[in-house]
Each structure stands twice: as structure tokens, then as C-alpha cells.
């Protein structure tokens, strides 16, 4: 991306963050780099978050606000991608271009089959409240459409975090100077309890990465054996990477930044890292991750977990099982990419077979829970992993030294061994 002042779309998913949202939005509208497109996605908030977002949309015309039914972080981010400036969907409302919109048939594929979404279908599913505020009935945006995204940079921001004032400017500078497709930056952690900032020597996933730039994202991952990788808001990236594979976040799972981040880097050309702490991550005393081992079911169980409650005696066991399911889905997305790309490039397949095999196996957290009760059919999903038995056994034995507790559910190994070649 050689434009000296490229447009940067900043996508902010919003869910019940009224206490933090103003600080987040102030940090974005006051970026020193001003050529920005701010896309706010209200994911069915039940507090005052939507009202705060509307207030900011009224006073800054760079903001485009979409309010959708609650369906989770992945779908909120995906909705933001479909509404970045200059997409046909955005132009449909913002510029009154009332024409049918071309759409790919599915996400996460090299296939290019397209159809058209008719004007009346768009008008049935979206309501334009103001020129820059849209309401939608759709839970999963990509069940309706998947667009070719216009060329620009993209940065995600979680709505309880905020940006350093120079964040976008520094990302654009590095991308321009080094001709990068992805710029990764460090972060500072703000502890709400003691109101102190913590600065890491390097961003966690880059802690043991010796170089600050690589000719490709796959080179970075494979050379440094980054089998458990994730990326979403940790930097800025070129939208064209997504178009190569129709890449989107996987809806209705946790840890959605693992398959998205891994595939984003696998698809990317030059990537670079700056150790500047350009993102402020808010550390909460109580969060989804910190609550996962509580045994009592919370009063407001997330919708995607409600159907599982009858199968489990406590919240801890439910969460561990659902986490195993999520990582199985993540592994399947990465493995399916490898299998589809293998059909096109045999030499590439051989060069990166070990990386994709190790990454896939590292994601399969099936030894932390019993699969005797399996409402989400994890066992059936394991059948897609056509990994040789000796490779699976070596991986299991090596990993057992690091995590000896896995021996408790060793019987789950049979679902990988006997359903695969």
C-alpha cells in the first residue's frame, strides 16, 4: 500500500461498555492521523452504550454506526468489515446507490462464486435511521452477504480499551516506509484496580520472535514455530489480505482471533513489528476469561451456552467442554485452509506441512474434558483431520511431558486415531 495517507477503517464492536465507551471513542476521534473511517457496531447492548455511540455519531461525520441483535464478537467484527467505507453495502445507505450487491457464496475459501443480493432484500433487513446510523435484524451478516472489500488499512479496537493518540499515525508510517501488509504493535495494560500501567518488553505472541520484519506472515509463523497464534486488535493490516480467501471471523465461538489471526498472517506478504505501546488494554477484575472456572452458573448465561446447561452439573465443566469445542472449530478452519491450498500448490504443501500439522494438533484441546457427553458432536468433527497416526501419537507423547494431566482423558485419543488415516 503506497498511498502516503491511506484511509484507515477502525472497527469497534460494542457490547455493554457504557463505563468505558467514551474514553475509547475519544481516543479514536482524537487520533493525530485524521484520514480515518470509524465503524461502530452495537451488538445488542442493554445498557446506555448505544445512546453514547449515537451521541458521537451525531458530532463526528467520520463515524458510521450499525446496531444489530446480539450475536457475539465475531459477527460484530464481521458486520464492521461489511460496512467499511466504499463497500457496496455502505454506499447503498450512505450515498443512496440503490442497486443489487454482488456477494460471494461463502467465507474462508479461495472459491469466487458470486450471486447478487436484491435491493428489496437489503431494505427488508436494514433500516436507515439517519445518514450514518443503520439498524439491522440480521444476526449473522455473512449469511446474507460477503463482499469484496475496498483497499485500505483496517484496525480493530475493543470498546473497553483505547488507543494511544499516535497509534494510527505510527502504523501508517511503518507500513508506508517498509511496504508492509501487516503492522503489529505492542500494548500497555491498564489495571483498573490499582490504576497502574504495565509495559511488556515485547507483545506476548512476539516475545521470542528475533526479527522485527519478515517477507511473509507464514515465514514468521513457521520459522518461529508459532503454533498457538492470535491476532485481532494488535495492529493494522491491509484489507486485501482478507479478499484473497474471503477471510472472516468464525461466529459463535470464543478465541476467534486464533484461526482468524493465523490465517491472516498465512495469507499476508511483508509483516513488521514495532515495540511502541500503541494500544491500551484494560485489565478487568472480572471478565469472561477470569470467570471460566467458577462452578456456579452465572445469572445471565450467554445465549450460545444456554443450550448446553442441561448437560452439565456446573459452569466450570460446561466452559471447559465449550472451550474444547471452540478450539476444535479453530483447528478445522486452519486445516481446511491447508487442504484447500494444497490442491493448488504441491510444493507449498510439502514446505509447510509440518507447520499446519503442528498448529492444528496444538489447537485440539480434547484432553481436558470428557467426551462421553458430547452435545456439540466434537467426536464427529475430529474425523476431518487426516493426519497420520504416528504423527498424532508423537505429538501426544511430547505434549504429555508438558501437560501430564492430559493422561486423565487419554481415551479421547481414539477419536483422532481411529477416525483418521
Provide the mean pLDDT of the chain: 94
pLDDT (tens digit per residue) in 303-314: 889 999 999 999
pLDDT for residue 4: 84
pLDDT > 90? residue 273: yes
What's the average model confidence in pLDDT over 240-259? Answer: 98
pLDDT (tens digit per residue) in 359-387: 999 999 899 899 999 999 999 999 999 99
pLDDT (tens digit per residue) in 90-118: 999 999 999 999 999 999 999 999 999 99
Pick the residue with more confidence: 345 or 126?
A: 126
Q: Give residue limits of the domains in the chain.
A: 8-283, 303-417
pLDDT for residue 137: 93
Polymer length of the chain: 421
pLDDT for residue 2: 58
pLDDT for residue 385: 94
pLDDT for residue 405: 84
pTM score above 0.85: yes
What's the average model confidence in pLDDT over 268-297? Answer: 81
Highest mean pLDDT among 140-144, 205-209, 290-294, 301-305: 140-144
pLDDT for residue 178: 97
pLDDT > 50? residue 289: no
pLDDT for residue 292: 56
pLDDT (tens digit per residue) in 133-177: 999 999 999 999 999 999 999 999 999 999 999 999 999 999 999
pLDDT > 90? residue 200: no
What's the average model confidence in pLDDT over 323-335? Answer: 97
Percent of the residues in the chain that have a pLDDT greater than 90, as a whole number: 84
pLDDT (tens digit per residue) in 13-52: 999 999 999 999 999 999 999 999 999 999 999 999 999 9
pLDDT-based confidence at 201, cuts 50/70/90?
Answer: confident
Cell of 367: 484432553
pLDDT for residue 15: 97
pLDDT for residue 286: 47
pLDDT for residue 419: 61
Domain made up of 8-283: CATH architecture = Alpha-Beta Complex (3.90)
Percent of the residues in the chain that have a pLDDT greater than 70, as a whole number: 97
What's the average model confidence in pLDDT over 39-66? Answer: 98
Please count the CA atoms within 13 angstroms of the CA of 150 that sit on its side-chain side. 16
Amino acid at each position: 500500500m503506497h498511498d502516503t495517507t491511506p484511509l484507515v477503517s477502525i472497527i469497534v464492536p460494542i457490547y455493554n461498555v457504557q463505563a468505558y465507551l467514551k474514553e475509547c471513542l475519544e481516543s479514536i476521534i482524537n487520533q493525530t492521523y485524521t484520514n480515518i473511517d470509524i465503524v461502530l457496531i452495537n451488538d445488542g447492548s442493554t445498557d446506555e452504550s448505544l445512546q453514547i455511540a449515537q451521541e458521537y455519531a451525531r458530532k463526528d461525520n467520520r463515524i458510521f454506526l450499525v446496531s444489530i441483535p446480539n450475536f457475539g464478537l465475531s459477527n460484530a467484527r464481521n458486520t464492521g468489515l461489511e460496512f467499511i467505507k466504499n463497500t457496496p453495502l455502505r454506499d447503498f445507505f450512505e450515498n443512496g446507490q440503490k442497486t443489487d450487491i454482488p456477494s460471494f457464496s461463502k467465507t474462508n475459501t479461495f472459491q469466487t462464486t458470486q450471486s447478487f443480493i436484491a435491493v428489496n432484500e437489503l431494505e427488508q433487513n436494514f433500516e436507515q435511521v439517519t445518514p450514518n446510523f443503520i439498524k439491522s435484524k440480521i444476526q449473522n451478516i455473512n449469511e446474507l452477504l460477503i463482499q469484496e472489500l475496498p483497499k485500505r488499512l483496517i484496525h480493530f479496537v475493543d470498546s473497553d480499551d483505547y488507543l494511544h493518540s499516535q497509534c494510527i499515525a505510527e502504523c501508517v508510517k511503518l507500513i508506508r516506509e517498509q511496504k508492509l501488509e501487516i503492522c503489529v504493535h505492542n500494548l500497555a495494560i491498564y489495571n483498573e484496580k490499582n490504576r497502574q500501567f504495565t509495559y511488556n518488553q515485547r507483545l506476548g505472541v512476539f516475545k521470542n520472535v528475533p526479527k522485527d520484519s519478515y517477507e511473509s506472515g507464514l515465514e514468521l509463523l513457521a520459522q518461529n514455530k508459532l503454533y498457538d497464534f492470535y491476532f485481532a486488535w494488535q495492529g493494522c493490516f491491509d484489507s486485501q489480505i482478507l479478499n484473497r480467501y474471503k477471510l472472516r471471523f468464525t461466529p459463535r465461538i470464543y478465541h476467534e482471533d486464533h484461526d482468524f489471526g493465523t490465517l491472516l498472517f498465512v495469507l499476508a506478504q511483508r509483516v513488521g513489528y514495532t515495540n511502541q505501546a500503541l494500544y491500551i488494554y484494560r485489565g478487568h477484575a472480572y471478565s469472561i476469561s477470569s470467570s471460566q472456572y467458577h462452578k456456579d452458573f452465572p445469572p445471565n448465561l450467554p445465549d450460545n451456552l444456554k443450550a448446553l446447561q442441561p448437560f452439565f452439573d456446573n459452569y466450570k465443566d460446561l466452559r471447559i467442554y465449550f472451550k474444547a469445542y471452540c478450539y476444535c472449530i479453530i483447528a478445522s478452519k486452519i486445516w481446511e485452509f491447508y487442504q484447500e491450498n494444497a490442491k493448488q500448490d504441491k510444493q507449498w504443501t510439502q514446505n509447510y506441512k509440518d507447520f499446519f500439522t503442528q498448529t492444528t494438533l496444538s489447537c485440539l484441546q480434547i484432553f481436558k474434558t470428557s467426551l462421553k457427553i458430547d452435545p456439540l458432536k466434537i467426536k464427529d468433527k475430529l474425523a476431518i483431520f487426516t493426519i497420520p497416526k504416528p504423527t498424532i501419537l508423537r505429538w501426544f507423547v511430547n505434549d504429555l511431558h508438558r501437560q501430564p494431566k492430559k493422561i486423565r482423558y487419554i481415551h479421547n485419543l481414539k477419536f483422532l486415531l481411529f477416525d483418521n488415516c
